[in-house]
Amino acid sequence: MTGGGNRDTTKLLMERSVPGRVGAVLPQPDVPAQPLPDPSLLRTELDLPEVSEPEVVQYFTALSQRNFSIDTHFYPLGSCTMKYNPKINDEVSFLPGLAGIHPLQPLESAQGALELLYRLQGFLAEITGLPGVGLSTLAGAHGELAGMLMMRAYHLARGDTNRRQVLIPDSAHGTNPASAAMAGFDVVTVVSDDQGNVDLKALHELVGPNLAGVMITLPSTLGLFDTGIVEVCQTVHQAGGLVYGDGANMNALLGRVKLGALGFDVVHLNLHKTFSTPHGGGGPGAGPVCVADSLIPHLPAPVVTQSSGDGAPVYGLAAPARTIGKLSGFHGNFGVLVRAFTYILTLGGEGLRAISGNAVLNANYLMEALKDTYYLPYDRRCMHEVVFSADWQKARGASGLEIVKRLLDYGFHAPTLYFPLIVHEALMIEPTESETWETLDAFIQALRDIDREVTEDPELVRGAPHTTPVSRLDEATAARQPDLRWRAAG
Protein backbone atom coordinates (compact mmCIF):
# COMPACT_ATOMS: atom_id res chain seq x y z
CA MET A 1 0.00 0.00 0.00
CA THR A 2 1.52 3.32 -0.98
CA GLY A 3 1.05 6.55 0.90
CA GLY A 4 -0.88 9.75 0.36
CA GLY A 5 0.23 13.23 -0.68
CA ASN A 6 3.38 13.10 -2.79
CA ARG A 7 3.49 9.35 -2.33
CA ASP A 8 0.15 8.98 -4.05
CA THR A 9 0.87 7.83 -7.59
CA THR A 10 -2.30 9.12 -9.22
CA LYS A 11 -0.70 12.46 -10.17
CA LEU A 12 1.79 12.44 -13.03
CA LEU A 13 5.01 14.44 -13.02
CA MET A 14 3.58 17.28 -15.09
CA GLU A 15 0.62 17.47 -12.72
CA ARG A 16 2.95 17.73 -9.71
CA SER A 17 4.89 20.56 -11.27
CA VAL A 18 5.14 23.80 -9.28
CA PRO A 19 6.92 26.74 -10.97
CA GLY A 20 10.39 27.34 -9.55
CA ARG A 21 10.96 23.94 -7.96
CA VAL A 22 14.15 22.07 -8.88
CA GLY A 23 15.36 18.60 -8.01
CA ALA A 24 19.05 19.15 -8.75
CA VAL A 25 21.16 22.27 -8.38
CA LEU A 26 23.93 22.94 -10.88
CA PRO A 27 27.06 25.03 -10.28
CA GLN A 28 27.40 28.61 -11.53
CA PRO A 29 29.45 29.12 -14.72
CA ASP A 30 33.18 29.53 -14.02
CA VAL A 31 34.08 30.88 -17.46
CA PRO A 32 33.52 34.39 -18.85
CA ALA A 33 30.10 34.76 -20.51
CA GLN A 34 30.22 33.70 -24.16
CA PRO A 35 28.21 35.24 -27.00
CA LEU A 36 24.89 33.49 -27.60
CA PRO A 37 23.74 32.36 -31.04
CA ASP A 38 20.97 33.95 -33.09
CA PRO A 39 17.89 34.01 -30.82
CA SER A 40 15.81 32.31 -33.50
CA LEU A 41 17.77 29.11 -32.83
CA LEU A 42 17.10 29.21 -29.10
CA ARG A 43 14.28 27.42 -27.42
CA THR A 44 11.76 29.59 -25.64
CA GLU A 45 9.63 26.94 -23.94
CA LEU A 46 10.65 23.62 -22.42
CA ASP A 47 7.75 21.72 -20.93
CA LEU A 48 9.46 19.64 -18.27
CA PRO A 49 8.23 19.13 -14.70
CA GLU A 50 9.38 21.32 -11.81
CA VAL A 51 9.62 19.11 -8.72
CA SER A 52 11.95 18.86 -5.74
CA GLU A 53 14.35 16.01 -4.98
CA PRO A 54 12.26 14.54 -2.12
CA GLU A 55 9.18 14.55 -4.34
CA VAL A 56 11.05 12.65 -7.06
CA VAL A 57 12.25 10.05 -4.56
CA GLN A 58 8.83 9.62 -2.99
CA TYR A 59 7.01 9.36 -6.30
CA PHE A 60 9.34 6.82 -7.92
CA THR A 61 9.59 4.76 -4.75
CA ALA A 62 5.81 4.62 -4.59
CA LEU A 63 5.72 3.60 -8.26
CA SER A 64 8.25 0.83 -7.68
CA GLN A 65 5.93 -0.64 -5.06
CA ARG A 66 3.30 -1.16 -7.74
CA ASN A 67 5.47 -3.79 -9.47
CA PHE A 68 5.95 -7.50 -9.01
CA SER A 69 9.64 -8.41 -9.34
CA ILE A 70 11.97 -11.32 -8.64
CA ASP A 71 13.09 -9.69 -5.42
CA THR A 72 9.49 -9.41 -4.19
CA HIS A 73 7.60 -12.27 -5.85
CA PHE A 74 8.09 -15.73 -7.37
CA TYR A 75 8.08 -14.97 -11.09
CA PRO A 76 7.65 -18.26 -13.01
CA LEU A 77 7.32 -16.58 -16.39
CA GLY A 78 8.05 -19.27 -18.95
CA SER A 79 10.79 -18.62 -21.49
CA CYS A 80 11.99 -15.58 -19.52
CA THR A 81 14.24 -17.30 -16.95
CA MET A 82 13.41 -15.04 -14.04
CA LYS A 83 16.15 -16.26 -11.75
CA TYR A 84 17.74 -14.46 -8.82
CA ASN A 85 20.00 -11.64 -9.99
CA PRO A 86 23.06 -11.59 -7.70
CA LYS A 87 23.75 -8.14 -6.25
CA ILE A 88 27.51 -8.41 -6.63
CA ASN A 89 27.03 -8.33 -10.40
CA ASP A 90 25.32 -4.94 -10.21
CA GLU A 91 27.84 -3.64 -7.73
CA VAL A 92 30.89 -4.33 -9.88
CA SER A 93 29.20 -2.99 -13.01
CA PHE A 94 29.05 0.40 -11.27
CA LEU A 95 32.79 0.55 -10.51
CA PRO A 96 34.18 3.85 -11.86
CA GLY A 97 36.74 1.90 -13.89
CA LEU A 98 33.91 0.06 -15.67
CA ALA A 99 30.86 2.35 -15.67
CA GLY A 100 32.93 5.49 -16.10
CA ILE A 101 34.87 4.66 -19.24
CA HIS A 102 34.26 6.10 -22.69
CA PRO A 103 33.75 3.71 -25.63
CA LEU A 104 36.09 5.71 -27.86
CA GLN A 105 38.94 6.30 -25.45
CA PRO A 106 42.33 5.01 -26.62
CA LEU A 107 42.54 1.22 -26.43
CA GLU A 108 45.62 1.40 -24.24
CA SER A 109 43.52 3.18 -21.61
CA ALA A 110 40.84 0.46 -21.59
CA GLN A 111 42.86 -2.76 -21.46
CA GLY A 112 41.01 -4.06 -18.40
CA ALA A 113 37.64 -3.69 -20.12
CA LEU A 114 38.91 -5.32 -23.30
CA GLU A 115 40.46 -8.21 -21.37
CA LEU A 116 37.13 -8.78 -19.63
CA LEU A 117 35.33 -8.88 -22.98
CA TYR A 118 37.95 -11.15 -24.51
CA ARG A 119 37.68 -13.62 -21.66
CA LEU A 120 33.88 -13.51 -21.86
CA GLN A 121 34.09 -14.34 -25.57
CA GLY A 122 36.13 -17.37 -24.58
CA PHE A 123 33.68 -18.45 -21.86
CA LEU A 124 30.70 -18.26 -24.22
CA ALA A 125 32.59 -20.13 -26.94
CA GLU A 126 33.34 -22.90 -24.45
CA ILE A 127 29.75 -23.07 -23.20
CA THR A 128 28.23 -23.28 -26.69
CA GLY A 129 31.01 -25.22 -28.41
CA LEU A 130 31.10 -22.53 -31.10
CA PRO A 131 34.51 -20.86 -31.53
CA GLY A 132 33.56 -17.38 -32.80
CA VAL A 133 31.81 -14.91 -30.50
CA GLY A 134 30.51 -11.40 -31.08
CA LEU A 135 29.38 -9.40 -28.05
CA SER A 136 28.10 -6.21 -29.69
CA THR A 137 24.45 -7.20 -30.12
CA LEU A 138 22.22 -5.61 -27.53
CA ALA A 139 19.33 -8.04 -26.98
CA GLY A 140 18.14 -11.51 -27.93
CA ALA A 141 16.25 -10.34 -31.01
CA HIS A 142 19.24 -8.19 -31.95
CA GLY A 143 21.42 -11.31 -31.84
CA GLU A 144 18.87 -13.08 -34.02
CA LEU A 145 19.09 -10.29 -36.58
CA ALA A 146 22.89 -10.55 -36.55
CA GLY A 147 22.73 -14.33 -36.89
CA MET A 148 20.34 -14.23 -39.79
CA LEU A 149 22.34 -11.50 -41.55
CA MET A 150 25.39 -13.74 -41.14
CA MET A 151 23.46 -16.62 -42.67
CA ARG A 152 22.61 -14.38 -45.62
CA ALA A 153 26.21 -13.18 -45.94
CA TYR A 154 27.48 -16.77 -45.86
CA HIS A 155 25.31 -17.85 -48.78
CA LEU A 156 25.98 -14.68 -50.79
CA ALA A 157 29.75 -15.02 -50.27
CA ARG A 158 29.49 -18.46 -51.89
CA GLY A 159 27.56 -17.03 -54.83
CA ASP A 160 24.49 -18.87 -53.60
CA THR A 161 21.94 -16.15 -54.30
CA ASN A 162 18.68 -18.11 -54.38
CA ARG A 163 18.60 -19.25 -50.78
CA ARG A 164 15.80 -17.05 -49.53
CA GLN A 165 13.79 -19.52 -47.49
CA VAL A 166 14.02 -19.94 -43.73
CA LEU A 167 12.14 -22.69 -41.91
CA ILE A 168 10.83 -21.90 -38.45
CA PRO A 169 8.91 -24.33 -36.21
CA ASP A 170 5.36 -23.42 -35.26
CA SER A 171 6.44 -23.32 -31.61
CA ALA A 172 9.01 -20.52 -32.14
CA HIS A 173 9.14 -17.13 -30.44
CA GLY A 174 7.70 -14.32 -32.57
CA THR A 175 11.09 -12.67 -32.76
CA ASN A 176 12.38 -15.55 -34.95
CA PRO A 177 10.15 -14.87 -37.97
CA ALA A 178 10.41 -11.11 -37.39
CA SER A 179 14.23 -11.28 -37.38
CA ALA A 180 14.34 -13.54 -40.44
CA ALA A 181 12.12 -11.05 -42.28
CA MET A 182 14.40 -8.14 -41.31
CA ALA A 183 17.30 -10.13 -42.75
CA GLY A 184 15.41 -10.39 -46.04
CA PHE A 185 14.24 -14.00 -45.85
CA ASP A 186 10.89 -15.61 -46.66
CA VAL A 187 9.58 -17.46 -43.63
CA VAL A 188 8.05 -20.92 -43.94
CA THR A 189 6.54 -22.61 -40.91
CA VAL A 190 7.44 -26.21 -40.12
CA VAL A 191 5.04 -28.12 -37.88
CA SER A 192 5.81 -30.01 -34.70
CA ASP A 193 4.99 -33.69 -34.25
CA ASP A 194 2.86 -35.20 -31.49
CA GLN A 195 5.91 -35.38 -29.21
CA GLY A 196 6.62 -31.66 -29.61
CA ASN A 197 9.68 -32.30 -31.79
CA VAL A 198 10.20 -30.82 -35.25
CA ASP A 199 8.20 -33.06 -37.59
CA LEU A 200 11.02 -34.74 -39.52
CA LYS A 201 8.79 -35.85 -42.35
CA ALA A 202 7.55 -32.30 -42.86
CA LEU A 203 11.13 -31.04 -42.65
CA HIS A 204 12.34 -33.43 -45.34
CA GLU A 205 9.57 -32.25 -47.65
CA LEU A 206 10.37 -28.58 -47.15
CA VAL A 207 14.16 -28.54 -47.58
CA GLY A 208 15.46 -27.82 -51.07
CA PRO A 209 17.80 -25.67 -53.12
CA ASN A 210 16.16 -22.45 -51.87
CA LEU A 211 16.75 -23.28 -48.24
CA ALA A 212 18.89 -20.76 -46.37
CA GLY A 213 18.48 -22.44 -43.03
CA VAL A 214 16.30 -23.15 -40.01
CA MET A 215 15.79 -21.35 -36.73
CA ILE A 216 15.49 -23.78 -33.85
CA THR A 217 14.92 -23.13 -30.17
CA LEU A 218 16.43 -25.86 -28.00
CA PRO A 219 14.87 -26.93 -25.74
CA SER A 220 11.78 -25.89 -27.67
CA THR A 221 9.29 -23.41 -26.27
CA LEU A 222 7.34 -26.46 -25.12
CA GLY A 223 10.18 -27.00 -22.67
CA LEU A 224 11.15 -30.21 -24.44
CA PHE A 225 14.50 -31.40 -25.74
CA ASP A 226 13.96 -32.25 -29.41
CA THR A 227 15.16 -35.86 -29.57
CA GLY A 228 15.51 -35.60 -33.36
CA ILE A 229 17.78 -32.59 -33.23
CA VAL A 230 20.81 -34.31 -34.73
CA GLU A 231 18.78 -35.43 -37.72
CA VAL A 232 17.30 -31.94 -38.08
CA CYS A 233 20.80 -30.46 -38.29
CA GLN A 234 22.01 -33.14 -40.71
CA THR A 235 18.99 -32.72 -42.96
CA VAL A 236 19.44 -28.98 -43.17
CA HIS A 237 23.18 -29.24 -43.78
CA GLN A 238 22.69 -31.82 -46.51
CA ALA A 239 20.38 -29.38 -48.27
CA GLY A 240 23.08 -26.69 -48.03
CA GLY A 241 21.37 -24.72 -45.26
CA LEU A 242 22.59 -23.52 -41.89
CA VAL A 243 21.14 -24.11 -38.44
CA TYR A 244 20.35 -21.11 -36.26
CA GLY A 245 19.88 -21.75 -32.54
CA ASP A 246 17.74 -19.46 -30.41
CA GLY A 247 19.50 -19.67 -27.05
CA ALA A 248 16.59 -18.33 -25.02
CA ASN A 249 16.33 -21.65 -23.22
CA MET A 250 20.01 -22.27 -22.54
CA ASN A 251 19.33 -22.41 -18.82
CA ALA A 252 18.33 -26.03 -19.40
CA LEU A 253 21.52 -26.99 -21.17
CA LEU A 254 24.42 -25.31 -19.35
CA GLY A 255 27.20 -27.86 -19.16
CA ARG A 256 24.90 -30.64 -20.40
CA VAL A 257 25.44 -30.38 -24.15
CA LYS A 258 27.27 -28.06 -26.53
CA LEU A 259 25.10 -26.78 -29.35
CA GLY A 260 28.05 -26.59 -31.70
CA ALA A 261 28.62 -30.33 -31.28
CA LEU A 262 25.00 -31.04 -32.20
CA GLY A 263 25.44 -29.21 -35.50
CA PHE A 264 24.29 -25.67 -34.79
CA ASP A 265 26.11 -23.06 -36.88
CA VAL A 266 25.08 -19.92 -35.04
CA VAL A 267 23.47 -19.37 -31.65
CA HIS A 268 22.52 -16.28 -29.73
CA LEU A 269 22.51 -16.23 -25.95
CA ASN A 270 20.27 -14.12 -23.73
CA LEU A 271 22.60 -12.96 -20.99
CA HIS A 272 19.58 -11.42 -19.22
CA LYS A 273 18.05 -14.88 -18.97
CA THR A 274 20.64 -17.63 -18.60
CA PHE A 275 23.37 -15.46 -17.13
CA SER A 276 21.25 -13.66 -14.54
CA THR A 277 21.56 -10.04 -15.56
CA PRO A 278 18.50 -8.13 -14.35
CA HIS A 279 15.64 -7.60 -16.81
CA GLY A 280 15.01 -4.05 -15.63
CA GLY A 281 11.31 -4.13 -16.53
CA GLY A 282 12.10 -4.75 -20.20
CA GLY A 283 15.83 -4.35 -20.71
CA PRO A 284 18.69 -3.86 -20.97
CA GLY A 285 19.72 -7.28 -22.14
CA ALA A 286 22.57 -8.55 -24.24
CA GLY A 287 22.38 -11.03 -27.09
CA PRO A 288 25.89 -12.20 -28.02
CA VAL A 289 26.22 -14.43 -31.07
CA CYS A 290 28.36 -17.58 -31.09
CA VAL A 291 29.28 -19.07 -34.45
CA ALA A 292 31.02 -21.96 -36.16
CA ASP A 293 34.30 -21.40 -38.04
CA SER A 294 32.46 -20.89 -41.33
CA LEU A 295 30.71 -17.78 -40.02
CA ILE A 296 33.55 -16.14 -38.11
CA PRO A 297 34.47 -13.83 -41.04
CA HIS A 298 30.90 -12.47 -40.99
CA LEU A 299 30.59 -11.64 -37.27
CA PRO A 300 29.23 -8.16 -36.48
CA ALA A 301 31.88 -5.54 -35.74
CA PRO A 302 33.68 -5.10 -33.51
CA VAL A 303 35.12 -8.24 -31.97
CA VAL A 304 37.78 -8.17 -29.28
CA THR A 305 41.22 -9.45 -30.25
CA GLN A 306 44.27 -10.49 -28.28
CA SER A 307 47.80 -10.23 -29.55
CA SER A 308 50.70 -11.53 -27.58
CA GLY A 309 53.78 -9.46 -28.06
CA ASP A 310 56.87 -9.97 -25.97
CA GLY A 311 55.27 -8.94 -22.72
CA ALA A 312 51.73 -9.05 -21.46
CA PRO A 313 48.90 -9.68 -23.94
CA VAL A 314 47.47 -6.63 -25.68
CA TYR A 315 43.76 -6.39 -26.41
CA GLY A 316 42.17 -4.56 -29.32
CA LEU A 317 39.01 -4.19 -31.39
CA ALA A 318 38.70 -5.41 -34.97
CA ALA A 319 36.18 -5.74 -37.77
CA PRO A 320 36.04 -9.32 -39.15
CA ALA A 321 37.07 -9.68 -42.79
CA ARG A 322 33.57 -9.98 -44.29
CA THR A 323 31.57 -8.55 -41.43
CA ILE A 324 27.85 -7.95 -41.73
CA GLY A 325 28.73 -4.54 -40.32
CA LYS A 326 28.05 -2.62 -37.20
CA LEU A 327 24.72 -3.27 -35.49
CA SER A 328 25.08 -1.00 -32.48
CA GLY A 329 26.57 2.39 -31.68
CA PHE A 330 29.65 1.06 -29.90
CA HIS A 331 30.86 -2.34 -28.60
CA GLY A 332 27.71 -3.74 -27.03
CA ASN A 333 25.93 -3.49 -23.70
CA PHE A 334 29.13 -3.54 -21.70
CA GLY A 335 27.45 -3.11 -18.30
CA VAL A 336 25.38 -6.24 -18.98
CA LEU A 337 28.44 -8.13 -20.23
CA VAL A 338 30.28 -7.25 -17.01
CA ARG A 339 27.45 -8.77 -14.96
CA ALA A 340 27.40 -11.98 -17.00
CA PHE A 341 31.18 -12.28 -16.80
CA THR A 342 30.98 -11.90 -13.01
CA TYR A 343 28.27 -14.53 -12.83
CA ILE A 344 30.34 -17.05 -14.77
CA LEU A 345 33.42 -16.33 -12.65
CA THR A 346 31.40 -16.89 -9.49
CA LEU A 347 29.93 -20.21 -10.61
CA GLY A 348 32.68 -21.76 -12.67
CA GLY A 349 31.98 -24.76 -14.86
CA GLU A 350 30.58 -26.95 -12.10
CA GLY A 351 28.30 -24.20 -10.87
CA LEU A 352 26.84 -23.71 -14.33
CA ARG A 353 26.14 -27.45 -14.57
CA ALA A 354 24.41 -27.34 -11.22
CA ILE A 355 22.19 -24.54 -12.49
CA SER A 356 20.81 -26.50 -15.42
CA GLY A 357 20.39 -29.50 -13.13
CA ASN A 358 18.38 -27.65 -10.53
CA ALA A 359 16.36 -25.71 -13.10
CA VAL A 360 15.31 -28.95 -14.80
CA LEU A 361 14.67 -30.66 -11.48
CA ASN A 362 12.40 -27.82 -10.33
CA ALA A 363 10.40 -27.82 -13.56
CA ASN A 364 9.90 -31.57 -13.46
CA TYR A 365 8.85 -31.37 -9.82
CA LEU A 366 6.13 -28.86 -10.76
CA MET A 367 5.09 -31.00 -13.71
CA GLU A 368 4.63 -34.13 -11.60
CA ALA A 369 2.83 -32.26 -8.85
CA LEU A 370 0.37 -30.49 -11.12
CA LYS A 371 -0.29 -32.84 -14.00
CA ASP A 372 -3.32 -34.37 -12.32
CA THR A 373 -4.83 -30.92 -11.85
CA TYR A 374 -3.92 -29.22 -15.14
CA TYR A 375 -3.91 -30.90 -18.53
CA LEU A 376 -0.39 -31.73 -19.70
CA PRO A 377 -0.42 -31.93 -23.49
CA TYR A 378 3.07 -33.44 -23.83
CA ASP A 379 3.45 -35.97 -21.05
CA ARG A 380 7.19 -36.60 -21.14
CA ARG A 381 10.27 -35.46 -19.29
CA CYS A 382 10.45 -31.67 -19.51
CA MET A 383 13.53 -29.53 -19.34
CA HIS A 384 13.67 -26.13 -17.57
CA GLU A 385 10.00 -25.29 -18.09
CA VAL A 386 6.69 -27.07 -18.38
CA VAL A 387 3.72 -26.16 -20.56
CA PHE A 388 0.25 -27.00 -19.23
CA SER A 389 -3.10 -26.25 -20.78
CA ALA A 390 -6.03 -24.72 -18.89
CA ASP A 391 -8.47 -26.66 -21.07
CA TRP A 392 -9.92 -28.62 -18.12
CA GLN A 393 -10.58 -25.40 -16.20
CA LYS A 394 -11.88 -23.66 -19.30
CA ALA A 395 -14.50 -26.40 -19.64
CA ARG A 396 -15.59 -25.51 -16.11
CA GLY A 397 -15.82 -21.83 -16.89
CA ALA A 398 -12.46 -20.16 -16.20
CA SER A 399 -9.88 -19.43 -18.89
CA GLY A 400 -6.12 -19.54 -18.62
CA LEU A 401 -6.12 -15.75 -18.52
CA GLU A 402 -8.42 -15.72 -15.51
CA ILE A 403 -6.40 -18.38 -13.73
CA VAL A 404 -3.13 -16.50 -14.07
CA LYS A 405 -4.78 -13.27 -12.94
CA ARG A 406 -6.01 -15.13 -9.88
CA LEU A 407 -2.44 -16.28 -9.20
CA LEU A 408 -1.51 -12.61 -8.73
CA ASP A 409 -3.89 -12.54 -5.75
CA TYR A 410 -1.91 -15.41 -4.25
CA GLY A 411 1.26 -13.31 -4.51
CA PHE A 412 2.75 -15.16 -7.49
CA HIS A 413 3.56 -13.61 -10.83
CA ALA A 414 1.72 -15.21 -13.73
CA PRO A 415 3.28 -17.88 -15.93
CA THR A 416 3.61 -17.06 -19.63
CA LEU A 417 0.13 -17.24 -21.07
CA TYR A 418 -1.15 -18.48 -24.43
CA PHE A 419 2.33 -19.28 -25.69
CA PRO A 420 3.52 -21.37 -27.45
CA LEU A 421 0.71 -20.84 -29.91
CA ILE A 422 0.34 -24.56 -30.65
CA VAL A 423 -0.96 -25.34 -27.15
CA HIS A 424 -4.54 -24.35 -26.48
CA GLU A 425 -4.92 -22.24 -23.31
CA ALA A 426 -1.17 -22.59 -22.71
CA LEU A 427 0.33 -21.93 -19.27
CA MET A 428 4.11 -21.98 -19.54
CA ILE A 429 5.85 -22.27 -16.19
CA GLU A 430 9.58 -21.79 -15.64
CA PRO A 431 10.59 -21.96 -11.98
CA THR A 432 14.38 -21.54 -12.53
CA GLU A 433 17.01 -22.99 -10.21
CA SER A 434 16.97 -20.22 -7.65
CA GLU A 435 13.65 -20.91 -5.90
CA THR A 436 13.39 -23.05 -2.78
CA TRP A 437 11.41 -26.25 -2.42
CA GLU A 438 9.10 -24.37 -0.03
CA THR A 439 8.27 -21.74 -2.63
CA LEU A 440 7.55 -24.38 -5.25
CA ASP A 441 5.21 -26.18 -2.85
CA ALA A 442 3.38 -22.95 -2.05
CA PHE A 443 2.98 -22.29 -5.77
CA ILE A 444 1.67 -25.80 -6.38
CA GLN A 445 -0.83 -25.33 -3.57
CA ALA A 446 -1.99 -22.02 -5.04
CA LEU A 447 -2.64 -23.57 -8.46
CA ARG A 448 -4.55 -26.43 -6.81
CA ASP A 449 -6.58 -23.98 -4.74
CA ILE A 450 -7.43 -21.97 -7.83
CA ASP A 451 -8.53 -25.12 -9.60
CA ARG A 452 -10.91 -25.76 -6.69
CA GLU A 453 -12.14 -22.18 -6.84
CA VAL A 454 -12.99 -22.62 -10.52
CA THR A 455 -15.59 -25.15 -9.43
CA GLU A 456 -16.67 -23.71 -6.10
CA ASP A 457 -16.54 -19.97 -6.73
CA PRO A 458 -15.98 -19.30 -10.41
CA GLU A 459 -16.86 -15.60 -10.14
CA LEU A 460 -13.95 -15.15 -7.74
CA VAL A 461 -11.59 -16.45 -10.42
CA ARG A 462 -13.23 -14.68 -13.32
CA GLY A 463 -13.07 -11.31 -11.58
CA ALA A 464 -9.41 -11.64 -10.56
CA PRO A 465 -7.13 -10.02 -9.70
CA HIS A 466 -8.67 -8.49 -6.57
CA THR A 467 -5.61 -7.45 -4.56
CA THR A 468 -3.35 -5.74 -7.09
CA PRO A 469 -3.12 -1.92 -7.30
CA VAL A 470 -5.54 -2.00 -10.23
CA SER A 471 -8.00 -4.62 -11.40
CA ARG A 472 -8.44 -5.87 -14.97
CA LEU A 473 -7.68 -3.04 -17.38
CA ASP A 474 -9.61 -1.96 -20.44
CA GLU A 475 -7.13 -2.90 -23.14
CA ALA A 476 -9.61 -2.54 -26.00
CA THR A 477 -10.19 1.16 -25.39
CA ALA A 478 -6.46 1.68 -24.86
CA ALA A 479 -5.82 0.35 -28.37
CA ARG A 480 -8.82 2.02 -30.01
CA GLN A 481 -8.21 5.47 -28.58
CA PRO A 482 -4.49 5.49 -27.79
CA ASP A 483 -3.54 7.82 -24.93
CA LEU A 484 0.25 7.65 -25.07
CA ARG A 485 1.28 10.79 -23.18
CA TRP A 486 0.07 13.38 -20.74
CA ARG A 487 -1.53 16.49 -22.21
CA ALA A 488 -2.46 19.72 -20.47
CA ALA A 489 -6.17 19.88 -19.68
CA GLY A 490 -8.34 21.92 -22.04
Of 270-329, binders to other proteins (CB under 8 A) are 278-286, 300, 319, 324-329
Among 74, 85, 247, 430, binds other proteins (CB under 8 A): 85
> Per CB under 8 A, which of residues 235..254 are in contact with other proteins?
none
d(CA 266, CA 298): 11
d(CA 83, CA 62): 24
Per-position x/- string for 395-414, each x denoting binding to other proteins as judged by CB under 8 A, each - no binding: ---------xx--x----xx
Number of residues that bind other proteins (CB under 8 A): 190
Among 74, 78, 120, 123, binds other proteins (CB under 8 A): 123
> Residue 164 CB, nearest distance to other proteins (Å)?
10
Among 158, 160, 162, 227, binds other proteins (CB under 8 A): 227
CB 429 within 8 A of CB 386: yes
Q: Which of 430, 427, 428, 419 is nearest to 360 (CA)?
A: 430
d(CA 459, CA 352): 45
Among 6, 210, 306, 358, binds other proteins (CB under 8 A): 358
Q: Which of 305, 323, 360, 333 is nearest to 81 (CA)?
A: 360
Q: Does 462 bind other proteins (CB under 8 A)?
A: no
Neighbours of 200 (CB within 10 A): 15
Q: Does 255 bind other proteins (CB under 8 A)?
A: yes
Name every residue whose Cβ is closer than 8 Å to that of residue 24 and which is 6 or more positions away in sequence: 53
Among 120, 130, 133, 141, binds other proteins (CB under 8 A): 141
> Residue 337 CB, nearest distance to other proteins (Å)?
9
Toward other proteins, which CB reaches closer, 68 or 392? 68
Q: Does 68 bind other proteins (CB under 8 A)?
A: yes
Amino acid at 292: A
If phi over 0 gives left and psi between -120 and 50 gives alpha, with beta otherwise, what is residue 332? Answer: left
> Residue 344 CB, nearest distance to other proteins (Å)?
7
Q: Does 14 bind other proteins (CB under 8 A)?
A: yes
Per-position x/- string for 421-440, each x denoting binding to other proteins as judged by CB under 8 A, each - no binding: ----------------x---
Element housing 342 (H / E):
helix 334-370
d(CA 126, CA 353): 13
